[in-house]
Structure 1
Amino acid sequence: MKSPFVYILPLAILSLILGIWGGWVRMGWAIQIPSAIPISQHGIFMVGGFLGTLVSLERVATLHKTILLGIPLMFGLSIPFFLFDLPNISYLLLISGSIGYLGVCVYNYKKYKSEGDLLLLAGATFQILGHFALSKTNSYPIAFAAWMLFLLFTIVGERLELTRFLPKGKFQKIELYFWLFLVMFTSALYHFGTAKILSLSLFGLSQWLIRNDIALLNIKKQNSYKFLGFSLLTAFAWLAITGIIGFLSGPFLYDALLHAFFIGFVLNMILAHAPIIFPALLKINHKPFHPTYYLWLFILNLSLGLRIIGDFQENSDWRLFGGIFNGIAFIAYLLNVAFLILKKQLYAKNDQIRSI
C-alpha cells in the first residue's frame, strides 16, 4: 500500500522549486519565470511551503493518524494560492497549519515529557508568530527573526531527541538552555542593540552542538554514518559562521546572515537527514547512500562560501554564481536520494516477479 505522504511531498518539492527559481531571479539571473510566480515571496515559499510541509510531515508521521495529514497539506496548499494572487488564503492556511502543528507538539510533550519535545513545542510557537507577523506587516526582516527561532529550536530539539541516549550532565543542560534563552531574548530585541550578543549566542550554541552531538562519533564510522557526521558538523560550523558574520558589516550583511543560517545551517541539516526521513515517510525499509552525496555537499558549501564572500567583497559575479549553484546542488542531492530509493524499489519488485 502506498504511503499517503507520497501525495503531499510533491507540494513541498513544488514550493522548493518555486522558492529557488524566484531566488535566482531576485539575485539578478535573467531567467524566464511565469508572471504568476511572485518572486517577492521567495522566503515564504522556502520556509512556509517547503520547510513547513517537511517538518510537519515528519512529526505527523510518528502519530499514525490519517486526519493529521491535513496539517502538512495546509502548508503545501498555501503555495498555489500565492500563485493565484490570493495571499490572504495562503496566510490563513499557513497559520492554520502552524496551529495544528503546535497541537501535535503539545500532544507529544504531554505524552513523553522530553526536553526535545519541549524545544519542538517552542519552535512551533515561533513558526506561528513568524507567519502571523508576515501576514500583518509584510515585513520579511520581522518574520525572519521568528522563523530563525522556529528552525533553530526545532533542529536542536530533534538533535536532543536523537541523542538522548548520550549522557549529558547538569552543567551541559544549563549551558544549552543558557544559549537558547540568550538567542531568544536577543532576537526579540535585535533592533534595540542586542545584535552582537545574538551573534555570540549563536556561536556559543554551535560549539555546544559540536561537543554534545554524535557528529564527531559518526565521522569515525563508514558510509552513511560518516556522511551524516560530516553533514552535521558542516551545519554546526555554519551556525558558528552565522554568529561570526553578525560581528561584521557590509552592504549585503543581511543576505550573508540569512543564507549562512538558512542554507548553511538548515539545508545542511536536511542533507544529513534526507536519506533517513524520506524512506521513513514513504514506508520504505531502505536508507540509501552513495559517495556522490559528498559531491553535492561540497558544491553546496563551496558555492555558499563564494556567495557570502561575494556579499562582503561586493562582487556581483561571485554572488550570482554562488547563488545558482546553491540551488543546483541542493536539488541535485534530493534527486540523487530519490534515484537511489527508486532504484532499490525497482530491484525489489523485479526480484518479486522472478520469484513467482
Structure 2
Amino acid sequence: MERRLTFGSRTKALPPAARTVARVACVASILALFACGVVAGLARFGVAVPRHALSNASWHGVLVLPIFFGAVVSLERAVALGGGRHLFAPVAVALAGLMLLAGMPTGLAQAVLLAGATLALASASGLLLRHAELHLMVLALGVLSWWFGDLIWLLTDAPLLAVPGWLAFLVLTIAAERLELTRLRPTRPHARALFVTIVVTMLLSVSAAVPAPEPALRWFAASLLALAAWLTRYDIARVTVRQRGLTRFIAVCLLSGYGWLALSGALGLAGAWNVSHPWHDAALHALTLGFVISMALGHAPIVLPAVARIRVRYGPVFYLPLIALHATLAVRVAGALMNDFALRRAGAVGNAVALALFVAVMATSALAARNEARLVAHGR
C-alpha cells in the first residue's frame, strides 16, 4: 500500500487540547469554504443559488485555489509536523477565506492570506534546511509559488494575475509527493535531471507570467505536458494499479489525473491559458478538477484519518464519485471546445454533484467504520 514518508521534528508549542480545537475548527472552516467556493462557481453559470453565494461568485477561484487548497496542504503538513505552531498557517488561511465571505475589506483578507502562506513557507523552508532532499525542495518551491501568487494578488488586486502561481503551487506539491515515493522504485539520474528541468521551466514561466503573459503561459503549458509524461512514465502508481483495494484506487485516481494534466498542457500550448481564449475553462478545470481533485479523492481516505482523526472504511463505492467526476468533466470540456455554454453548464453542475457524492461516500464510510469499531469493542 502507498505510504507517505514524513521528515521533521514534532513540536508542542500548543497544549494538546488547544491543538485539537484548532485542528477541528480549521477542518470545519475548510470544508465550509470549499462548499462556498463550489456554490460560487455554480453561480457564475447562472445556477440558482442562495443570495449570499451569488454575491460571492467573483471569489470562486480565490476560495478554491489559494484558500481551500492552501489551507488543506498547510493543515496536512502541520499535522505531519506535530501541530503546534505549524497550525497557525492553515488557521490564518481559513480565516482569510471567512473574512472574504463576511464582506470584510479585501485588502485585509489578502494580507492575512499572505501571512498564512508566509508561515507555511517558513515551515517548509525549515524542514528543507533540516533534510536536504529534492522532494522537500520542490515542496518548498511549491509553497513559494503560492506565496508569490498571494503577493501578486495583494499588490495588483487582480486574482487572475495570481492564478499561475497558485496553480504551480498545487502541481508542484503533488509532483513532490509523487517524487518522494519514487524512492520505493528508484529512478535513473537522467530521469531526476529531467524532473528538475521541468520544475525550473514551470517556475520561470510563473515568474514571467505578469510581464510577458503570452510566452510565459505557453511555457507553463509545456511544463504541464512534460510533467504529465514524466509522472506517467516513472510514478510508482504504474505498479500499484495492479494491486487491490485502496492502493489500486489511489493509483487509478493518479493515472487518470495525469491524462487530464496532459490535456491541460496541450490546450495551453494552443493558447488556452489566456483568460480570453474560448478553451480557457477547459484547460483550467482539466488541471484543477481532473488532476488536482482526482489526486485529492484518492488520498482523502488516508489524509482524513490523519488530519481529522476520523477512520473511514474503503470500499468499491469510492469509484462512483471518481467516475462521475471524470464523466461530467468530459462533458464540461467538450462544451468549452464546442463553444456550447449549455453543455459546459451541465458539466459544471455535474462536477458539483460528483463532489457532493464523494462527501456522501466519505461520510457513509466513516459511519460504517465507527459502527464496526463499536462492534469490535463489544466483542460482537
Same fold (TM over 0.5): yes
Counterpart of 1:246 in 2: which secondary structure? helix
Show CA shifts across 1:246-293 (max 9, x none). Answer: 233674222122111111111111011111111111335x55311111
1:259 maps to 2:285: yes
**Matched AA of 1:331:** A
User: Normalising by the residue count of structure 2, what TM-score does the alignment of the two structures yield?
Assistant: 0.87
Q: 1:147 to 1:35 in 2, by over 3 A?
A: closer
Distance in 2, matches of 1:18 and 1:304, equals 20
Does the alignment pair 1:227 with 2:249?
yes
Q: Is the 8 A contact 1:18 1:37 kept in 2?
A: no
**Which residue does 1:139 correspond to in 2?**
158
Q: Letter of the aligned partner of 2:240 in structure 1? A: N
Which of these residues, 79, 84, 87, is aligned with residue 66 of structure 1?
84
- Give the partner amino acid of 1:167: P
For residue 62 of structure 2, give the secondary structure of its aligned residue in structure 1: helix
Partner of 1:124: 143
Q: CA deviation at 1:20?
A: 0.4
Q: 2:257 touches 2:295 (CA, 8 Å); kept in 1? A: yes
In the aligned structure 2, how far is the partner of 1:49 from the partner of 1:186?
22
Secondary structure of the residue aligned to 1:104 is helix
Q: Which moved more, 1:3-12 or 1:291-300?
A: 3-12
Give the match for residue 183 of structure 1.
202
Aligned-partner residue type, residue 268 of structure 2: G
Letter in 2 for 1:337: M
1:318 paired with 2:343, answer yes
SS in 2 for 1:113: coil
> Which of the residues 210, 221, 225 maps onto 1:203?
225
Aligned position for 1:81: 99
Where does residue 19 of structure 1 map in the other structure? 37
State whether residues 109 and 117 of structure 1, in contact with CA within 8 Å, keep that contact through their aligned partners in structure 2.
yes
8 Å Cα contact 1:36-1:83 kept in structure 2: no
- Whole-angstrom distance in 1 between the partners of 2:297 and 2:53: 31
How far, CA to CA, are the matches of 1:84 and 1:32 in structure 2? 15
Percent identity, please: 26
Q: Which residue number in structure 2 is paired with residue 31 of structure 1?
A: 49
Asked whether the 8 Å contact 1:279–1:341 carries over to 2, the reply is: no
Q: Secondary structure at the match of 1:27?
A: coil
**2:127 partner letter:** N
For 1:39 and 1:138, the matched residues in 2 are separated by 16
Q: CA deviation at 1:355?
A: 5.2
TM-fit CA distance, 1:238: 1.0
Q: Which residue of 1 aligns with 2:308?
A: 282
Distance 1:14 1:83 in 2: 11
Look up the SS of the partner of 1:8 in the other structure.
Answer: helix
* 1:168-197 Cα deviation digits (max 9, x unpaired): 211011111111112222333342424433
Q: Deviations over 1:127-180 (max 9, x none)?
A: 111112112222232110110111111111111223322212110111111111
Note the residue ranges of structure 2 that are not aligned, 5 or more in a row.
Answer: 1-15
CA distance in 2, matches of 1:306, 1:153: 27
TM-score for both structures, normalised by structure 1 = 0.93
2:169 to 122, 146, 150: 150
- Deviation readout 1:49-76 (Å, 9 max, x if unpaired): 2111110011011111423222211111
Could you tell me how far 1:350 is from its partner in structure 2? Answer: 4.6
When residues 194 and 107 of structure 1 are mapped into structure 2, their CA distance, relative to the original with a 3 A threshold, is: closer
Structure 1 residues 264, 134: closer, same or farther in 2, change over 3 A? Answer: same
Q: Once the 2 structures are TM-superposed, how far is the Cα of residue 77 of structure 1 from its aligned partner?
A: 1.4
- Go from structure 1 to structure 2 and tell me whether the alpha carbon gap of 1:198 and 1:79 turns closer, same or farther (over 3 Å shift): closer
